[in-house]
Structures are given as structure tokens and as C-alpha cells.
Amino acid sequence: MRQTLKVQISDKKSYDIEISDSGFDKLNRQISEMTEGQRRLVIISKKVYDLYRCDLRFSEEEIFILKDGEKEKNIKNYLKIMKRAIELGLTRSDVLIAIGGGVVGDITGFVASTYMRGIDFIQVPTTLLSAVDSSVGGKTAIDFQEAKNIVGSFYQPKAVFININFLKTLDKRQFLSGMGEVLKYAFIEDNCNYKHSLFLFEFLTLGCEKIMQREPITIIRMIEYCLNLKISVVNQDEKECGLRKILNFGHTFAHALETITKYKKYTHGEAVVYGMYFILEWAHKKEYINYSYYRLSIELLYKYGFKPLKNKYPVEKLIEIMKKDKKASADKITFIVPCAKKQVKEIKLTACEAEGMF
């Protein structure tokens, strides 16, 4: 099975995303065809390289192996990749290929956007999280001085190839981390202005068993639904001037939680789910949403095995981190809050008001 979606930001900035369960031979062929006549540098996650080196057709010379983990998305690795591109003699007509999760995609995209003022890059996401979120939409970045994604750019890939066979070897925790981002889309569907209703909330409620079994057709459909919503948002607001902020539902709290625990305790998706629990609870208390939608929402998160956060963290510290968030402005903290079924809105709170949420 194969689905092709199109990102169309402008006439010059458009690209295809292919979601498929075909064999790796097909993936190799497609990449070869797309990069014909170009020199290539392939940045690949160490885990993916160890598992799939025999399935992927690249020469040793083309490969740059990046160790796994957020801490690898740093300036040293950025420079190492740059150096390698220069050693290989890559010109502006050549191409970078990212094979891995969000870390590989983000750093490769950032190198691509800055090497010779920009060269092509192709995303081959191998985790659920990168397939439904980070590989699409052109956010590229590295972390610097303990600030996540502080150095980066908006730079769209030339193509995205999502082959769900990579998900077979994803451990359960990483799969569920991706589900955190998938679930997010269910709460924002009506803001995305997609051409028709996808009923993602209902699809995720009814399809839980098949999704957790990673049934291929269901997984392809699920990724397709999420990306239809994301593409619709990105086409309307590439640079996050307005609408795109809704993709940060659950993320204000999530980033604070990840930062306070130094990115070691929770996966990104887990943190997003805790962020969604937090804001759903608050929105219900403030009567932004009614009890029935609140219950349905909590039940949906529960269905996937997610529970509310038990650990307590110092509120002043969390608020301090939220104030430094890229989304904060003029001393106010931005939250994306649910305001009706499948709908959210942006609110800005002072630090004092935000403290009152806890």
C-alpha cells in the first residue's frame, strides 16, 4: 500500500511525501532515481545503521553515522557533518539524506539549509514521531547552550519517504512516544482547516487495538491523517506566525518538563501527553470545555496506556523555564488550550497567572 501527499507552500516550495509498506528495494530505487547525478551524504542514526545496513544501498563513503539521543544534536556534530560534506566535495547541486528519527532529521536539515547557503535534502524518518511530525514542515535545528532547537531555520526537504517497515523494530516506549504526537492531532483537527473531516479522534478511539498491533494498513492511514492535518497547517503558515502554533498543543508544559529533567526522564511524546493532561484538566476547571469532552479526551489518552503525571516538580522552576520558551513573548507565556471538541485556541498568561494553573 502506498499514499502520496503533497506539501504546497508555494509554487517553488512543494514536495511529495510518500507513505508505504513496500520493501526496502523500492526505497533504494526511489532514492537512487531522485538523486541521480548528485553526490550524496547520508546521515544515518547509529541504531538504524546497525539494524538496516544490509537493506540500504549506500556506499561506505557516503555514510555519516550519528549516535542516538538528543545530546547528539549539537554544534560539534553539525561541524563534523559540514566537514564531511566539504571533504566529499559536495556542491550546491548535491544532496543530503537523513535516515533516522527527529535528531537526525533536524541536524541534517540544518546542515542542508546552511551548507553553501542551501542544498537539497531528503527525509527518511524511521520513528513514528519523526514520521508524523518532525520530518514534515521544514523545522530544522540544533541545540546550543542547553537550549533545545535554539539555532535553526525553516528549510523544506526535497521529499519525504516514510517506510513503515522501519517501525517494526521500534521499541514500545518509542512507538508510544510517537503516539503522543499522533494523539495531539486529534485535539486540534478542527483548527487545521483540512478540506473535510477526518474524524481522527474517533479513528484513534476505535482503532486502538490495531494501532497498538502496528497493523500496516491502519498505521499508514493513521500517518496519512496526521500528515494531512499537518500539511494543511504548514501550507497556511510555514513560519509559525499564527496558525502553526496549534501544533504546540501540550508542548509548553512538555518542554518545561523535559528541560527540568534534562531530557533524561521522559521521551518527547510522553512529555507531550503529560502536557495535554495538564491543559485538559485546567481547561475543564476553567469551563473552556464541558465535562463530556473532557472525559472522552482523558479516556482516549488512557486507552493508549498513558496516565497523568504523578511526580511533582517545583512550580517556580517550571514557570521560569516556560518564560524562556521560544513561544513566550513580552513576559507572557503562551499556552494552546482546548476550547471545544477538537478545537484549541492560543492564550497568553503572565507568570503569576500561569502559577495559578497548578
Residues making contact with ligand GLY (CB under 6 A): 133, 137, 139, 244, 247
What region does 173 belong to: left with phi over 0, alpha with psi -120 to 50, or beta? alpha
Q: Which of 241, 270, 243 is nearest to 254 (CA)?
A: 270
Find the shortest distance in angstroms from Cβ 247 to ligand GLY: 4
Of 188 and 198, the one with the shorter C-beta distance to ligand GLY is 188
CA distance 221 to 216: 9
Q: Evaluate whether 292 touches 302 at the Cβ level (below 8 Å).
A: no
Of 94 and 189, the one with the shorter C-beta distance to ligand GLY is 189
Find the shortest distance in angstroms from Cβ 240 to ligand GLY: 6
Kindly give, in sequence order, each residue whose CB lies less than 8 Å from that of residue 298, ignoring residues fewer than 6 positions away. Answer: 277, 280
Of 125 and 137, the one with the shorter C-beta distance to ligand GLY is 137
Find the shortest distance in angstroms from Cβ 269 to ligand GLY: 12
- Classify the C-alpha dihedral 121-147-223-191 as positive or negative: negative
Find the shortest distance in angstroms from Cβ 105 to ligand GLY: 11
Q: Evaluate whether 271 touches 311 at the Cβ level (below 8 Å).
A: no
Find the shortest distance in angstroms from Cβ 316 to ligand GLY: 27
Eight-class DSSP state of 193: -
Q: Look up residue 209 and give its three cell numbers.
A: 487495538
Find the shortest distance in angstroms from Cβ 227 to ligand GLY: 11
Q: What is the DSSP code string of 42-108?
A: EEEEHHHHHHHTTTS---GGGEEEE-SSGGGSSHHHHHHHHHHHHHTT--TT-EEEEEESHHHHHHH
For the chain, what's the residue count? Answer: 358
Of 40 and 184, the one with the shorter C-beta distance to ligand GLY is 184
Find the shortest distance in angstroms from Cβ 139 to ligand GLY: 5
One-letter identity of residue 135: S
Residue number with the smallest Cβ distance to ligand GLY: 247
Q: What is the dihedral of CA 297, 188, 223, 123, to 10 degrees?
A: -130
Of 35 and 113, the one with the shorter C-beta distance to ligand GLY is 113
